[in-house]
Structure 1
Amino acid sequence: SAKRAANADCVDASSRVASATSLLDSDCVAASSDVPAASSVQDCVASGMPCLPNASTSAIAASSSCLASSPKSDNVSPAVHLETHFLTCEEIEAADAQRTAVQERLGAMPATQRKFEAMTPDPRSATATSEGSKFYLVQMDTLSDLHSRTLCMHCLAPGLTIQEGTQLGLATKLELMCPHCGIIASSWNSARQNDAMAFEVNIRAIMAMKQIGKGQTALNDFWATMNVSHRGLHHRTFQKHLKKTFRDREIQCVDKFYAESAAAVKEVYKEMDPSFCRDITVVYDGTWHKRGHTSHIGVGAVIEYHTGLIMDAVVLSNQCLGCQVGPKPGDADYASWHEHHVCQKNTDAKSGRMEVEAALILFNRSVSKHNLRYTTLVSDGDSATFSALVQENVYGLVPIVKEECLNHVQKRMGTALRNLVQKSEKSLGGKGRLTKALIDKLTDYYGWALRNNSNDVAAMQRAVMASYYHVTSTEEEPRHDFCPEGANSWCRHKVAEASDSPQPKHKYNLPGYVAEAMLPVYQRLSQASLLQRCLGAKTQNASESFHSVLWSLMPKEQHASLIAVQTALHEAVLRYNAGCQRATKEISVSVGLTPGHLAIQRAAEKDALRMGKAKKRNRVKNERRERKKVRKDTSSYSAGSF
């Protein structure tokens, strides 16, 4: 939609140009009756003159539709027509108010609550039932002792015993022995899955290991310690089920969740703006399986900003262990090996480039997958990903706008000051100068200046420079002109001035050469171009939270294959978007298991605990914010911060 008019009599030309740019969408066809009006709007935009001299009585041109191209021919170049819609000033203000109200409502909720409410409720009852086969750990001697009190069905002799027969993983054939008749009956301790040779107990064991972030080695060690089996599952069997039973089936499950998340996001955006087409704000960040820049596996995930729902994710691997240790071209058995080998290398990118490659994959398929465009990108200071997206021209003439993560911008102050101390020829650190504690304080003050003025670039600039001049102020040269006025100011000198009290002594008294060295850092980090990208105080907290969920299911300390990370990613997405309870149900059904009622009960407990903690943190944060509102007048920070 068009931006609010700069005044009641004209529409800002740059806003109309931006609106026209946002209309580029080949899927929307303009009505032929609107072509004359569109031409007049384009003429006004090109000339830079106001389209409507009296906006108080006329309608203001606002964008809500798209550009359409006429069929191409050999003699006629494609014609582009602009379908215009008109909104009055009152309608624009009402739309802004509606959008703000929805964003404030979502912002007041904990992130967990936003996601759970946005996702479609599970049609199955949330109450744990007696569904699913229940398993017990039974000592064999106890079981044999129990059967010894029964009679043989053939000879009626007592003394029946249970002995172990064939063992396939954790599935064991139990044989009922009569001392006279021999084996009179046998049965497996677990049923096979429908239309499959796999035993339910083996599939559940793999699923259990996945949910606690462990693999085949941990599974074998656990059952060996319990004296159940010296090797719970062979590593080939484990990997086969991980690939065929879990990964391949979970793909369909997680795709359904992605579609459901996209539908929920569209509903939220339509609530904010009824004319919403498909441009949304997303948070994107990459993560790696190994720390440092030597990881062979990287993950990229796109998270919608307002709802916190994961829209899409991908795992990249630049290494295949099978290709490294398997037969090489020219070997006698290479052809047969290569025929059955599934390579786990899906990119040639180095670890540092994986974040960029993942972003290109996810952004390029956003329209085909969800009919959405990720046109506003919240990311850290690394410009490689954004530059690659711009160069790729992902959405044609529709630009992608980058907004900064406020947490990462705040860290730049600390990094810049520490580098200043280390690289300066003069001694800037130590007592009475830039100590570690002072640098940490200045970093916090910089972050507060941005957060507390997140809707006004000029106010952010003033607050940032106020912190600089306040800290570098001395008895000989006081610098408190930028500090907030009044008795409630965070500046003790302004408080004393307002109450006609004696001026307190300056706290820091930094040498002049230190203040002079700090000034370029503050000037660079208070540039309008940077602060413009910080409007709204957006962060990448959602990405960091998702990464913690993902790597809890596949710890960075243990080796993992592409398939293992993919299965961990699938479960992490389901848990993050809809909670453990629904994730357990959906994955169980996808692999052919009936959800166990005890597993569902435990998952529900974890979700309730997660929601309770989220609400408590949110309540404490809101209470703290309300207390600050009561205390402050024109202050940008809490009283006594300096």
Structure 2
Amino acid sequence: MSLERRQIDGITVSGDRTWRKRGFSSLFGVVSLIGWCTGKVVDIAVKSKFCKACSLWNGKQETSEYEEWAANHEANCERNHEGSSGKMEVDAVVEMFQRSEELHNLKYSHYIGDGDSKTFKGILDSKPYDDLNVCKKECIDHVQKRMGTRLRNLKKNVRGLGGRGKLTGKLIDELTIYYGLAIRRNSNSIEDMRREIWATLFHKISTDSEPQHDRCPIGENSWCSWQQAKAENELDEYQHKPALNNEVFKAIQPIYEELSRDELLSRCVGGFTQNSNESFNSVLWAIAPKTVHSNKAIVDIAANIAVCNFNDGLHSIMQIMQVLNLIIGSACYNFCVQADERRIRAAERTMTEEAKEARRQQKSARKATDDEDINVEGQLYGAGIAD
């Protein structure tokens, strides 16, 4: 499939990490690489900062018994990571890039990642391939989140910018969604991305006396209601919604300039995401829940079963059972087949445009309700609020 898309130098992979414990102090982490074209896990690495045996023998150093134990334990030690939990992703991805030729006889030419870690810098510094420079692609979901984060920080730091008719939580959500859609709908052209990103902003400041829809897509199928009315010769009856406050417009312009740079948008070309990695993470922790204690051996087993399940469905469990010489009955077979069919049908339903729109509306309505409650009640929870 990579050859069909003219990727002759290597394949595109998305990488992401997940920790055994929520937060940045987890002792165990799992990092996955998933092929973009196939959607299959191509490699995983389980990282551990802890070994129970090492902790038990830690107080017996400088004894003959410890030296004898250490000589036999080194090959079986569960600890395979030094440093912080945040560094697990960097080290694991670098290791998987360096062993790609030995493992699969291919190279990873493009890496889809987010801006949450310095993983890509680690790849570049390690130089895994002598004759190939790995290229970075951004996860557009994480790029979209940058807009929401910048706008919320702006509202928090600039006094008087929030409140009714200004930069509300609902408006921030709308601008963030529109920014993401502008990238997704024009993922093959940087210029089209930039034009539509700015179109969404100028669309919000348009009025009946001063419409600013020149950048909006034209035609009756446009997302712009003004352009739809123009295509249907109904502009005489068209009325704009209340325009974006001019103070807010001037305040958020620098954010739009920053997030529509060529350098950033060029890494969004192709419309790549890490959704497959997030899905794999959910499969993994459904097998070994974070609420239940487990050591590295359990995480290793769960990760490998999750790869089989994610790549080939639940019927791959029957292959594992065969290796273990377990008898597979008709009830087991029927359960695996039916479970896979239900999963596929559910996934197809969630991918429909109707389902996506319903989720967006539900999320927007929920946040709007929360904002209304906060405006009525005031801030009731926060660090040092009672001082």
TM-score range, shorter chain: 0.7 to 0.9
Q: Is 1:351 matched with 2:85?
A: yes
**Alignment correspondent of 1:408:** 142
- C-alpha separation in 2, matches of 1:349 and 1:532: 33
- TM norm structure 2: 0.83
The DSSP-based 3-state class of the residue aligned with 2:15 is strand
1:459 aligned to 171, 175, 192, which one? 192
Say whether the 8 Å CA contact 2:349–2:355 is kept in structure 1.
no
Cα distance change on mapping 1:469 and 1:616 into 2, 3 Å = closer
Query: Could you say if the C-alpha distance between residues 350 and 473 of structure 1 is closer, same or farther in structure 2, counting changes exceeding 3 Å?
Result: same
Query: Given the superposition, is the C-alpha separation of residues 488 and 333 from structure 1 closer, same or farther in structure 2, using an over 3 Å criterion?
Result: closer
Q: Quick one: which of 280, 289, 295 aligns to 1:555?
A: 289
Cα distance, 1:497 vs. partner?
Answer: 4.9
The match for 1:481 among 214, 219, 225 is: 214
Residues in 2 aligned to 1:343 and 1:488: alpha-carbon distance in whole angstroms = 61
- SS of match in other structure, 2:2: helix
Q: CA deviation at 1:460?
A: 1.0
Whether the aligned pair in 1 keeps the contact of 2:208 and 2:240 (CA below 8 Å) is yes
1:586 matched to which residue of 2?
Answer: 319
Task: Choose from 489, 492, 507 the match for 2:241.
Answer: 507
Question: Which residue of structure 1 aligns with residue 369 of structure 2?
Answer: none
Structure 1 gap segments, 5+ residues each = 1-267, 626-642
Q: 1:538 is matched with which residue: 252, 268, 272? A: 272
Are 1:564 and 2:295 counterparts?
Answer: no
Which residue type is aligned with residue 355 of structure 1?
E
Q: Is the 8 A contact 2:203 2:212 kept in 1?
A: yes
How far apart are residue 531 of structure 1 and its match?
1.4
Structure 2 counterpart of 1:282: 13
Distance 2:50 2:12 in 1: 33
**What is the percentage of aligned positions where both structures have the same residue?**
39
Cα distance in 2 for partners of 1:278, 1:479 equals 45
Kept in 1: contact 2:350–2:356 (CA 8 A): no
Q: State the SS of the aligned residue for 1:514.
A: helix
Q: Secondary structure at the match of 1:351?
A: coil
Q: Is the 8 A contact 1:281 1:376 kept in 2?
A: yes
Say if 1:486 and 1:574 are closer, same or farther in 2 by CA, change over 3 A.
closer
CA shift at 1:449, angstroms?
Answer: 1.0
Which residue in the other structure is 1:37 paired with? none
**Conserved in 2, the CA contact under 8 Å of 1:376 and 1:402?**
yes
Name 1:360's counterpart in structure 2. Answer: 94
Paired position in structure 2 for 1:190: none
2:48: which partner in 1? 317
Q: Are 1:306 and 2:48 matched, yes or no? A: no
User: What's the offset of the Cα at 1:413?
Assistant: 1.1
Say if 2:172 is the partner of 1:439.
yes
One-letter amino acid of the counterpart of residue 520, structure 1: P
Shift of 1:512: 2.0
1:278–1:371 CA contact under 8 A, matched in 2: no
Normalization by structure 1: what TM-score? 0.52
Q: How does 1:1-40 map to 2 (within 5 A)?
A: none
Contact 1:283/1:302, CA 8 A, preserved across alignment:
yes
Query: Does 2:176 align with 1:470?
Result: no
Which of 306, 312, 329 is the equivalent residue of 2:61? 329
- Give, as a single letter, the amino acid of the residue that structure 2 aligns with 1:464: I
Contact 1:390 1:400 in 2 (8 A): yes
Corresponding residue of 1:185 = none
Structure 1 residues 598-617: aligned runs within 5 Å = 598-617=331-350
For residues 447 and 302 of structure 1, the distance between their equivalents in structure 2, rounded to whole angstroms, comes to: 24
For 2:227 and 2:327, the matched residues in 1 are separated by 69
Partner of 1:46: none
**Cα shift at 1:315:** 0.2
Cα contact 1:378–1:403 (8 A) shared by 2: yes
Q: Which residue of 1 aligns with 2:381?
A: none
The CA distance in 1 between the partners of 2:318 and 2:260, in whole Å, is: 50
Shift in Å, 1:526? 1.3
Identify if the C-alpha distance between structure 1 residues 486 and 344 changes in structure 2 by more than 3 Å, giving closer, same or farther: closer
Matched AA of 1:611: I
CA displacement, residues 497-552 of structure 1 (integer Å, 9 cap, x when unaligned): 55263364442333322111110111111112211211221111110110110111
Equivalent of residue 374 in structure 1, options 108, 117, 123: 108
Cα deviation 1:414-458 (Å, max 9, x = unaligned): 11111110112x311110001111111111111111111122211
Quick check: 1:497–1:503 contact (8 Å CA) kept in 2? no
Provide, for residues 265-285 of structure 1, a one-character-per-residue CA deviation record: whole Å limited to 9, x for no partner: xxx334555xx7551111111
Secondary structure of 1:348 counterpart = coil
Distance in 1 (alpha carbons) for counterparts of 2:130 and 2:213: 49
User: Shift of the alpha carbon at 1:330?
Assistant: 3.4
Q: Distance in 2 between matches of 1:314 and 1:495?
A: 51
Deviation, 1:388, is 0.8
**Kept in 2: contact 1:474–1:510 (CA 8 A):** no
Shift of residue 332 of structure 1?
7.1
2-side partners of 1:439 and 1:280: how far apart?
36
Paired with 2:157 and 2:39, the residues of 1 have a C-alpha distance of 41
Gaps of 5+ in 2: 358-387
Q: 1:355-411, CA deviations, whole angstroms, 9 ceiling, x for partnerless residues?
A: 000001100000111111001111122350111101111112411111111111111
The alpha-carbon distance between structure 1 residues 511 and 610, as it changes in their structure 2 partners (threshold 3 A), is closer
Which residue of 2 is the match for residue 28 of structure 1? none
Query: What residue identity is the alignment partner of 2:178?
Result: Y
Whether 2:123 is the aligned partner of 1:389: answer: yes
Distance change >3 Å, CA 406–CA 557, structure 1 → 2: same
The one-letter code of the counterpart of 1:517 is A
Task: Please tell me whether Structure 1 or Structure 2 has the larger radius of gyration of its CA atoms.
Answer: 1
Contact 1:312 1:362 in 2 (8 A): yes
**SS of equivalent residue, structure 2 residue 14:** strand
User: What secondary structure sits across from 2:236 in the alignment?
Assistant: coil
The residue number in structure 1 matching 2:153 is 419
Structure in which a larger fraction of residues adopt helix:
2
Corresponding position of 2:364: none
Q: Could you say what the CA RMSD is over the residues aligned between the two structures, in angstroms?
A: 2.5
- Deviation, 1:324, is 1.7
CA shift, 1:604, in A, is 2.2
Report Cα offsets for 1:211-259 as digits up to 9, x if no partner: xxxxxxxxxxxxxxxxxxxxxxxxxxxxxxxxxxxxxxxxxxxxxxxxx
Letter in 1 for 2:52: L
One-letter identity of the residue aligned with 1:303:
I
- Partners of 1:579 and 1:486 in 2: CA distance: 43
Name 1:573's counterpart in structure 2: 307
Partner of 1:80: none
1:117-266 counterparts in 2 under 5 A? Answer: none
Measured in 2, the distance between the counterparts of 1:362 and 1:487 equals 49
* Aligned-pair CA distance for 1:624: 9.0
